[in-house]
Chain A
Amino acid sequence: MKKLRRTMLFVPANNPNMIMNAPVFKPDCIIFDLEDAISLKEKDSARDLLVEALKTFEYCNCEIFARVNPLYTPFGKDDVRELVKAGLRNVRLPMSETDEDIKNLDVLLTEIEKDLGIDRGTVKILGAIETAKGVINAEKIAVASSRMLGISFGAEDFTRTIGSERSREGEELFVARCKIVLAAAAAGIDAIDTVYADIEDEEGFEREAQSARKLGFAGKSVIHPRQIGVVHSIFTPSKEEVYRALRVISAIQEAEAKGLGVIALDGKMIDGPIVDKAERIVTLAKGAGLL
């Protein structure tokens, strides 16, 4: 079944308390951050702490990511190497601007997997698009490696690269968000929306999360546990949606059992995208505990 990635909770990798406690807030994914949240002098110690945490704690129901430092920094490659060795299986690559950035990481991962004796392709990549150049190249980034499980949007840096300010309404993000959703959808991977930095502005956050769902994002990055519940409730399908999705799926199963090629429900054809949508809704409903 497809994995739920409604929320990706950023946790600074130098915070032992949050490293241990983040799962109790039940985000779908946790992103341990070695990049922006960690000052230069703490890069090594935060990495060491995270390595120990990955070896020690069980994060049963959360998918674990690490936002490593960009590979062109003195820390990036060591981050990837040490963390994969400790068990990390998902890397969020910041500042993904071209397919080359992804390919470089792919090569590094292949090398590490070989050294560790694990299957090639085990470690997946989430490419974080945070610049105008990255947005323009989103389509290529999304298909740059078979390891891609998604692309995410980082609005804070993006607005700086286009010479704008981040607004409450978010008009300056609209095109980029759409482009990222389209690129991800075309590649068959997840699009993850940007963080909303003002944790006190619950109304603004909720509005942005609602628009993320409407635009087609699979989920949203969050920076505070209080934001998780809001996103999950927004990404929870309505009872009617769930009911329809279940009917679509049972019609498919019935048709397959009967060996029928063309499937109809209530006089309408059911095609691939409808089935995909139904499956997505059922996944969301299960994640929300509705099924």
Chain B
Amino acid sequence: MSNMIKNAINREIPKYIEGIGELKAFGGAFAYNPEGKKAATKIPKTFTGKNKIIENIKTSLELCGIKNGMTISFHHHFRNGDYLVNMVVEEIDKMGIRDITLAASSLQSIHAPLIDYIKKGVITGIQTSGIRGKLGEVVSREKILDKPIIIRSHGGRPRAIESGETKIDIAFIAAPAADAYGNVNGVEGPTACGAMGYAMTDAEYADKVVVVTDYLVPYPACPISITQTLVDYVVVVDEIGNPKGIVSDATRITKNPMELLIAQKASEAIITSGLIREGFSFQAGSGGASLGVAHFLRQKMRQEGITGSFAAGGITGYLVDMLEEGLFKSLLDVQCFDLKAIESIKNNPNHMEMSASFYANPHNKGCVANQLDIMVLSATEIDLDFNVNVITGSNGIVMGASGGHSDTAAGSKLSIVVAPLLRGRLPIVVDEATNVITPGETIDAVITERGIAVNPKRKDLLDLFKDAKLGVMSIYDLKEIAEKLVGKPRKIETTDEIVGLIEYRDGTIIDTIRRAK
């Protein structure tokens, strides 16, 4: 009997994978009903009067009882300036430990040294939102892992942890500032990164939690993001990250004319939708065109005296400016993108930190993504059913991240994708996306420089956009325009080997990543 089955978006997925287990096929964005109870950690016993500082990472691993086959976790708030993942894995290797599953909220170019540890068998499993750089290329092209990596959204990850699907044995938390009793804040120290949202669920659900910092502060490390009640050990090292790779000074509005043009068209579409009204909520991805949308909406809000309730997601200085100008009442922040955002979350009580679960987990009692009116998303590919790829490039290589894409698309009232119709000589609208992160049923419209396509299920929007003469066309027309200009791209050649499983936010499998030739 075949191990393969077609899911609700017609993608062939396996029913079972050795080393991972039974898989559930994606049945639709809102089809899956979770059952059972949430996971819990062991009851700890702590002694009075002791601090939690231990001498080094190796000792922390020993005290946590590291052994073959365990799962260790990391957050990605340090982005491409993170030293901790490589440091810990190096120690694990030195201790002769093998068969480790790495559950990171995301992996970057700086983590390329992991390739060697994968080849040595130290790491045998990876769960992440995305992978950039050489590691992504090697994972996609070479069969260096026996079992596929699991790609999860920012909401899907805390869901998997809370449900017990991902049981974290040891969570390592890179902490910009910490005290000797394990309280962590993200706003002080040389590696200040602001919000610590992606580390919070790890801290709550891991059996053991190790905080690693290069900036020890007197007790208590206020304002506390991750509390002492969850932390077992604190390790102080010389450097946990490179500030240059963590944040920029301030995120500026793009000057790229194409991105501005798309942003302008997107803001016209959003305004036409009627959702820009008192108390509306908004989130945009971190791409140039997405942030550009905020810029154009800001002008509209000023002109008409409209105040939004909140802006959410990864927060930039630009949104901080809007908060301070009174255009939004609050910011709900899972990760800060620049120094201005860090400064704001430190000082402004209306700029609130949230956990990844609070942000986007579909299986808690209500996440922020569900409260969004407007979500502006990017895409590397979008197919004729509006399914979106943001994980693999045009060569089939993992180069991006799932992020909060599918979470916010599902949760928001209006989800629009902004993308140039052509990147170089590649069309963005394609017959079939290389991979699917976000199902088309949760995407309402695609805005390109050459035209706007509305998902046929949103007839209401289609009528509004047509009446406003926004340049609406079918997604088939967009594809035809693109192909007329640059031709039809050849299909990417892949083998049948599955190197990655893409989980939808609810834990079902929406797609597989095949090994690129």
Residues of A within 8 A of B (CB): 17, 20-21, 24-25, 57, 224-226
Contact = CB atoms under 8 A, between A and B. Distances in A.
Contact of A24 (B255, B450, B486): B450
Nearest to A57: B485
A226 B424 contact: no
21 contacts: A17-B424, A20-B422, A20-B485, A20-B486, A21-B258, A21-B422, A21-B449, A24-B258, A24-B261, A24-B449, A24-B450, A25-B257, A25-B261, A57-B485, A224-B257, A225-B257, A225-B258, A225-B261, A226-B255, A226-B257, A226-B260
A20 B257 CA distance: 14
Interface residues of B, dominant DSSP: helix
Nearest to B265: A24
Interface string B89-108: 00000000000000000000
Interface in B258-288: 258, 260-261
A139 B216 CA distance: 78
Contacts of A20: 422, 485-486
B485 to A, nearest CB: 6
A126 to B, nearest CB: 24
A72 B176 CA distance: 66
A141 B257 CA distance: 35
Interface of B: 255, 257-258, 260-261, 422, 424, 449-450, 485-486
Nearest to B425: A16
Contacts of A21: 258, 422, 449
A287 B264 CA distance: 20
A24 B260 CA distance: 12
Contacts of B261: 24-25, 225
Nearest to B420: A21
A225 B262 CA distance: 13
Contacts of A225: 257-258, 261
Nearest to A20: B485
Contacts of B424: 17
A206 to B, nearest CB: 16
A55 B57 CA distance: 65
Contacts, number: 21
A169 B486 CA distance: 44
A24 B450 CA distance: 7
A25 B450 CA distance: 10
Contacts of B486: 20
B432 to A, nearest CB: 24
B488 to A, nearest CB: 15
Contacts of B449: 21, 24
The 6 A-B residue pairs with the shortest CB-CB distance, nearest first, are A225-B257, A24-B449, A226-B257, A24-B450, A20-B485, A25-B257
Nearest to B258: A21
A17 B449 CA distance: 14
A57 B481 CA distance: 11
Contacts of B255: 226
Contacts of B257: 25, 224-226
Identify which of A17, A21, A24, A224 gathers the most chain B CB atoms within 10 Å of its CB: A24
Contacts of A25: 257, 261
A226 B260 CA distance: 9
Nearest to A227: B257
Given A20-B486, A25-B261, A225-B257, 10 more contacts: A20-B485, A21-B258, A21-B449, A24-B258, A24-B450, A25-B257, A57-B485, A224-B257, A225-B261, A226-B260
Nearest to A21: B258
Contacts of B450: 24
Nearest to B485: A20
A17 B424 CA distance: 7
Contacts of A57: 485
A290 to B, nearest CB: 14
Identify which of A17, A21, A225 gathers the most chain B CB atoms within 10 Å of its CB: A21
A17 B423 CA distance: 9
B264 to A, nearest CB: 9
B78 to A, nearest CB: 33
Contacts of A24: 258, 261, 449-450
A30 to B, nearest CB: 14
Nearest to B257: A225
Contacts of B260: 226
A288 B389 CA distance: 37
A186 to B, nearest CB: 37
Contacts of A226: 255, 257, 260
Contacts of B422: 20-21
A285 B516 CA distance: 54
B82 to A, nearest CB: 34
A61 to B, nearest CB: 13
A57 B422 CA distance: 14
A24 B421 CA distance: 11
Identify which of B257, B260, B424 gathers the most chain A CB atoms within 10 Å of its CB: B257
A226 B255 CA distance: 8
B429 to A, nearest CB: 15
Nearest to A56: B485
A225 B255 CA distance: 10
A157 B486 CA distance: 38
B268 to A, nearest CB: 13
A199 to B, nearest CB: 9
Contacts of B485: 20, 57
Nearest to A224: B257
A21 B449 CA distance: 9
A17 B256 CA distance: 13
B160 to A, nearest CB: 41
A224 B127 CA distance: 44
B96 to A, nearest CB: 52
Nearest to A17: B424
B15 to A, nearest CB: 45
Nearest to A26: B261
Contacts of B258: 21, 24, 225
Nearest to B486: A20
B71 to A, nearest CB: 45
Nearest to A229: B264
A260 to B, nearest CB: 39
A136 B49 CA distance: 92
A149 B485 CA distance: 30
Nearest to A23: B450
A21 B485 CA distance: 10
A88 to B, nearest CB: 20
Nearest to A200: B255
A226 B261 CA distance: 9
A8 B261 CA distance: 18
A95 to B, nearest CB: 29
Nearest to B451: A24
A18 to B, nearest CB: 10
A196 B260 CA distance: 20
A17 B486 CA distance: 11
A226 B256 CA distance: 9
A19 to B, nearest CB: 11
Nearest to A225: B257
B230 to A, nearest CB: 49
B147 to A, nearest CB: 41
A200 B260 CA distance: 15
Nearest to B421: A24
